Structure 1
Amino acid sequence: MRADTRTYALRWRVMRRRLFAAGLLAVLLPLPVQADPIDAYVAARDQAIAASLAAAKAGKADDPAVQKQEEASAAELARLLSVALGPLAFEGMGPPRYSLGTFAEDAATPTRRLDGLAFANADYSTRLVVTPEAVFTAWLAARAKDDGAPRALRSGLPTAVGTAEFFQNAIAGDGGYFQPYVALPVAASPGETALAVLGLQVDEPAGTTAPNEISILRIGNGRAVVGMTMAKLTIGPIPACEAVWTPYKVKADALARMLAKEKKPSANRQDEITRLASDGTDAYRACFAREAPKQAFFTAAVKAAEAFLALARGN
């Protein structure tokens, strides 16, 4: 064998050994672990919250540079959520935005709002917040530990959805808070959790004002969706509940007449009027929950809630 041929053969044997070793090493060594999209989102969100808290503690919450950074963080978090949630489309709803307007309540308290992608129709009468189920579960557990949180928040989803606190932090807008009045027995699809309530957005005791808004919670396919929509229902007076409300109203009106006659209005009397209005509203709402299923509007309310759930399942 010629010398150049022997040299070529030797080089080929060395190369084969190296290729074999490289291939074996590739089999033996673990492949790089890809970051879970939800974990990546949560890590980025927590980093944004920490930065916001630090800025607030330093007295720089209103600094334009800090606000600009928070806007950039919100845009990036929306992108990460879009990756984690996958394609989303809801009929009649505009493009999503990140649901958190701020990352901190104050220098010591992270935001209590549910973080997700927020959707709304043109007149804002229908709204949705969509988030990974794992993010929703962690959020609800945190809200159940808040100071003053009602026990219902940690007593299961049906009772949690029956609280004003749930919707106030999940989706409520700036026009007051959503007060649930009565649960609506909606049908869930296989593998889905679906809950709905009929209620009213309020910023003061509502008396006998009829509820006019439906709110839902849907969990399925790894996503949680919280929604609110205006309900076109014809709800007339319920005599039994009017009778419950009347004694409170009579007492409050009498106190208001006395207050009007006083040259120096009594703060205690004003507080008593407010208390009567609040207690009377609570009594009326409890009566409404008992009596509503017997009323003609109830079937229409359930159908409207199921139609809203169908929308919330997406396209």
Structure 2
Amino acid sequence: MTRIDHRLLRAAVLAAALPAAAAAAPVDDYMASRDKAVTAAVAAAKAGKAGDDAEIKAEEVARKDLAKRMSALVGPLKFKGLGTPSFTLDMFVYGDDLPATRLDGMAFANADETTRVVATPEAVFQAWLAARAKDKDVPEAAAVREGGRAAVDTGYLVNNALVNVGGGVVPYTALPVTAAPGETVYANLGLFTDEAPANALPNTIVLLRVADGRAVMGMTAVALNMKPVLACDQAWKPYNTKVQALLKATETVSDLEDPRWAELAKVEEEGSNVFRTCLAKAPESQAAFATATKRAEAFLQTLRGN
């Protein structure tokens, strides 16, 4: 009798594992095809052949194949108010010969792109996080070891997942959204801007939902009608004085190696960090943050799809 029980146990374990193994195979095939296409594109770029007709055609064929695979992996998804999805990897090479760092997935957006969503298999998302943790010369890469939390709390990850052109997101503060059973959710309130953040108030919600074998990340504009916080503006003021002096000093400087450019970037970042830290703790901000959390909860419902 014991032998029969062991056989039944092994059969049950095997049966439980089969769906996961079957699901992993298409993802593995996608990742292998994707890596092959990117490697070929990087090699062509290094050889100075990126603009050749044959290389352009090869990339188009590879991209269409990957888009078809990704669409099948993500499955039929619809998000209220968002249009027909498109494949995110519009290029395989970044700069001269570096692999593109965009998150593989299907991208959705509304008409004016104030709301953007990317859906991808969870396994692809985790592989992307692992790859970004190894990015060279990226200060935020170390934070990626935090996993999904870092995806919404790190501007580098948000911008490589959701932003195409026209600016970037600077995270300000986490939002305590409530996840349903079986899902993992992280949210952040931040600023979408094409300039240095300085002491600007937040205007964007970023949210990540992981459930049902998918990772869905989205960003949406939010108007909170926040009023300036005097103490935080005062904390930013001395940094702004230095920024303005450096801007004036570099008005006619064309040498990008001039140390004043690096000093300008450093002071801007330090001052903005001080301002954001102050804003997150200021009593005057809490009502607006509560409103942002409610908006994030509504956005989460949108990200649940269909």
Greater displacement, 64-73 / 233-242 = 64-73
Identify the residue that residue 105 of structure 1 maps to in structure 2. 94
Corresponding position: 1:163 with 2:125: no
Residue 270 of structure 2 aligns with an amino acid whose one-letter code is: D
- Asked if the contact 1:182/1:292 (under 8 Å) is kept, the reply is no
Deviation of residue 264 (structure 1)? 9.5
Corresponding position: 1:242 with 2:226: no
The structure-2 alpha-carbon separation of the partners of 1:148 and 1:270, relative to structure 1 and needing over 3 Å to count, comes to closer
Deviation of residue 157 (structure 1)? 2.6
CA distance in 1, matches of 2:67, 2:108: 12
The structure-2 alpha-carbon separation of the partners of 1:246 and 1:106, relative to structure 1 and needing over 3 Å to count, comes to closer
Corresponding position: 1:114 with 2:103: yes
Deviation of residue 158 (structure 1)? 2.1
Partner of 2:153, secondary structure, is: coil
Q: Which of 302, 305, 315 is the aligned partner of 2:296? A: 305
Q: Deviations over 1:234-271 (max 9, x none)?
A: 111012211211222234446667x59x9999966676
TM-score of the superposed pair, with normalisation by structure 1: 0.80
- Asked if the contact 1:152/1:160 (under 8 Å) is kept, the reply is no
1:1-315 to structure 2, matched below 5 A, reads 36-106=25-95, 108-149=97-138, 150=140, 151-253=142-244, 259=249, 272=263, 274-291=265-282, 294-315=285-306
CA distance in 2, matches of 1:270, 1:145: 27
- Asked if the contact 1:252/1:276 (under 8 Å) is kept, the reply is yes
Unaligned runs of 5+ in 2: 1-20
CA distance in 2, matches of 1:264, 1:91: 49
The structure-2 alpha-carbon separation of the partners of 1:242 and 1:55, relative to structure 1 and needing over 3 Å to count, comes to same
- Asked if the contact 1:130/1:225 (under 8 Å) is kept, the reply is yes
Deviation of residue 275 (structure 1)? 4.0
The structure-2 alpha-carbon separation of the partners of 1:63 and 1:264, relative to structure 1 and needing over 3 Å to count, comes to closer
The structure-2 alpha-carbon separation of the partners of 1:135 and 1:292, relative to structure 1 and needing over 3 Å to count, comes to farther
CA distance in 2, matches of 1:264, 1:189: 54
CA distance in 2, matches of 1:134, 1:280: 38
CA distance in 2, matches of 1:125, 1:288: 24
Query: Identity of counterpart residues, as a percentage?
Result: 47
The structure-2 alpha-carbon separation of the partners of 1:62 and 1:88, relative to structure 1 and needing over 3 Å to count, comes to same
- Asked if the contact 2:87/2:104 (under 8 Å) is kept, the reply is yes
CA distance in 2, matches of 1:97, 1:264: 42
**Greater Rg, structure 1 or structure 2?**
1
Q: Deviations over 1:96-136 (max 9, x none)?
A: 11101111225653211111111111111111111100000
The structure-2 alpha-carbon separation of the partners of 1:293 and 1:108, relative to structure 1 and needing over 3 Å to count, comes to farther
C-alpha root-mean-square deviation of aligned residues, in Å?
A: 2.8
- Asked if the contact 1:53/1:106 (under 8 Å) is kept, the reply is no
Unaligned runs of 5+ in 1: 1-32
